[in-house]
Chains A and B, each alone.
Chain A
Amino acid sequence: MNGPQQKTGVKALAVEGLWTNNPVFGQVLGICSTLAVTNRVLNTLVMCGALALTLSLSSLTISLLRNWTPRRIRMMVETLVIASYVIVVDIVLQAYWPDMSRSLGPYVGLIITNCIVMGRAEACASANPPGRAFLDGLFNGLGYSFVLLLVAVPRELLGMGTLLGAPMPFFAGPHWDPWVILVMPPGAFFMLGIAVWFFRSRMERS
């Protein structure tokens, strides 16, 4: 992890969050809340958006509060900040997109216990200025989203023959037998396992 004094530009932060220090490949942390909705690309997009938003805004807030937060109750304050943003996201979804809110079920609320949000708050936001903390949160959120989209696209395409709910030319036709197993929970584990395998071997080489 970079120290607070180290001067790194936006680009370096982006490379770190998206690739070299990607939260999913490195530790396979924080997949709990989002992996469950990767059988549809649209649900994944909404969920990842909610996570990136919560992650960047809570990092910003925690960073702004860092000099006034007593060390002993730091974790509690961080949890409350994260929970407040999650409540906002949940209420907005319920009001403007009730169908999506229903199909995501309890998983929006579970962003609170997502290890990445808390991990970035502890590792970066509690020791860095607001701008840097915000960007760190944003790029980690994007790095996370791109891995989950890699899991979601094949699951929906091969498993249901659609993409974002629209039937795709070849895969929805009579020549394609849908791979039902990819839509079921084990499919998510297989896809993520393969994705992690691929990226880890690439990283090993470079």
Chain B
Amino acid sequence: MLQALTILFSAAITGNIVLTKFLGMCPYLSVSRRIKTAAGLGWAVVFVVTGTAILNWLVYTYVLVPLQLEFLRFILFIIMIAAFVQLVEMVIERYSPVLYQNLGIFLPLITVNCAILGVSLFMVIREYTLAQTVAFGLGSGLGWMLAIVAMAGIREKLKPDRIPKGLQGPGITLIIVGLMALAFIGFTGVLGG
């Protein structure tokens, strides 16, 4: 239990998936203009990344490993992620129109988010158990959401400021991401690594 908590904490803060692993950068830079949309996308990522990590763990451990087809994992993971996102979209649309209005538009974006595939690949390389995978998926998702909401907050405040022309947009955003990464890495050692 303690070990799972450590994994969750380090995936969310000190090993933050976007600030230290550089995954999910594209939506991170392009959808971080307003807090509300950033939070919507963030929750969708938390949900999908945890769900697909568990599914991919099950498929990898019980199908690919016994058949010795581990090299097919890239294709399989991508198909599982696409199918999961499609399914979630249909279920939400049918049972909760309110949730669909808030999260629905973000779901198609998620299939091509490298953070989702990245979490599944890290889980295979680090040889996590199922409980550890759940903690890792959840922690990564929460960390990604925390980072994008914080970034959206900073960018909203930044709007009236005068910034040199070449630095506007991606330039200044990348430098802010760097400063934020420094702050997150500063927590290293708090929970025994």
Residues of chain A at the chain B interface (Cβ within 8 Å): 27-33, 35-36, 76, 79-80, 83-84, 86-87, 90-91, 105-106, 109-110, 112-115, 118, 181, 184-190, 192-194, 196-202, 204
Asked if A86 contacts B172 (CB within 8 A), the reply is no
Q: Which one of B44-52, B136-144, B178-186 contacts A?
A: B178-186
Asked if B26 contacts A115 (CB within 8 A), the reply is yes
B21, B74, B82, B118: the one contacting A86 at CB < 8 Å is B74
Q: Kindly state the separation between the CA atoms of A90 and B70 in the bound complex, as whole angstroms.
A: 12
Interface centre among A86, A110, A113 (most CB of B within 10 A): A113
Give chain A residues whose Cβ lies under 8 Å from the Cβ of B21: 36, 185
A29, A184, A193: the one contacting B26 at CB < 8 Å is A29
Q: Kindly state the separation between the CA atoms of A30 and B82 in the bound complex, as whole angstroms.
A: 19
Q: Kindly state the separation between the CA atoms of A184 and B183 in the bound complex, as whole angstroms.
A: 12
- Does B192 touch A at the CB level, under 8 Å? no
Q: Which residue of B lies closest to A31 (CB)?
A: B25
Q: Quick one: given A83-B74, A186-B179, A201-B165, are A113 and B112 in contact (CB under 8 Å)?
A: yes
Asked if B165 contacts A30 (CB within 8 A), the reply is no
Q: How far is the CB of B101 from chain A (nearest CB, A)?
A: 24
Give chain B residues whose Cβ lies under 8 Å from the Cβ of A118: 112
Give chain A residues whose Cβ lies under 8 Å from the Cβ of B72: 87
B78, B116, B125, B172: the one contacting A106 at CB < 8 Å is B125
A30, A76, A189: the one contacting B181 at CB < 8 Å is A189
Q: Mark B149-193, 1 if CB is under 8 A from A, else 0.
A: 000000000000000111100111111011101100100000000
Q: Quick one: given A109-B74, A110-B114, are A193 and B125 in contact (CB under 8 Å)?
A: no
Could you jot down 19 A-B contacts, CB within 8 Å?
Answer: A32-B114, A36-B23, A84-B75, A87-B71, A87-B72, A87-B75, A106-B118, A109-B121, A112-B74, A185-B22, A190-B175, A196-B170, A196-B171, A196-B174, A197-B167, A197-B171, A200-B165, A201-B164, A204-B166
B20, B26, B124, B166: the one contacting A32 at CB < 8 Å is B26
Q: Kindly state the separation between the CA atoms of A105 and B26 in the bound complex, as whole angstroms.
A: 20
Asked if A32 contacts B22 (CB within 8 A), the reply is yes
Asked if A110 contacts B75 (CB within 8 A), the reply is no
Q: Kindly state the separation between the CA atoms of A116 and B78 in the bound complex, as whole angstroms.
A: 17
Asked if A110 contacts B118 (CB within 8 A), the reply is yes
Number of A-B contacts (CB under 8 A): 123
Q: Which residue of A lies closest to B112 (CB)?
A: A113
DSSP class of B's interface residues: helix, strand, loop or mixed? helix
Give chain A residues whose Cβ lies under 8 Å from the Cβ of B20: 185
Q: Kindly state the separation between the CA atoms of A106 and B140 in the bound complex, as whole angstroms.
A: 15
Residues of chain B at the chain A interface (Cβ within 8 Å): 19-26, 29, 71-75, 78, 82, 112-114, 116-118, 121-122, 124-125, 164-167, 170-175, 177-179, 181-182, 185
What 4 pairs across the A-B complex have the smallest Cβ distances? A201-B166, A189-B178, A193-B174, A106-B121
Q: Kindly state the separation between the CA atoms of A189 and B167 in the bound complex, as whole angstroms.
A: 13
Q: Kindly state the separation between the CA atoms of A110 and B21 in the bound complex, as whole angstroms.
A: 12
Asked if B181 contacts A90 (CB within 8 A), the reply is no
Give chain B residues whose Cβ lies under 8 Å from the Cβ of A184: 185
Q: Which residue of A lies closest to B166 (CB)?
A: A201
Q: How far is the CB of B109 from chain A (nearest CB, A)?
A: 11
Give chain B residues whose Cβ lies under 8 Å from the Cβ of A194: 175
Give chain B residues whose Cβ lies under 8 Å from the Cβ of A33: 22, 114
Asked if A190 contacts B178 (CB within 8 A), the reply is yes
A29, A79, A115, A188: the one contacting B78 at CB < 8 Å is A79
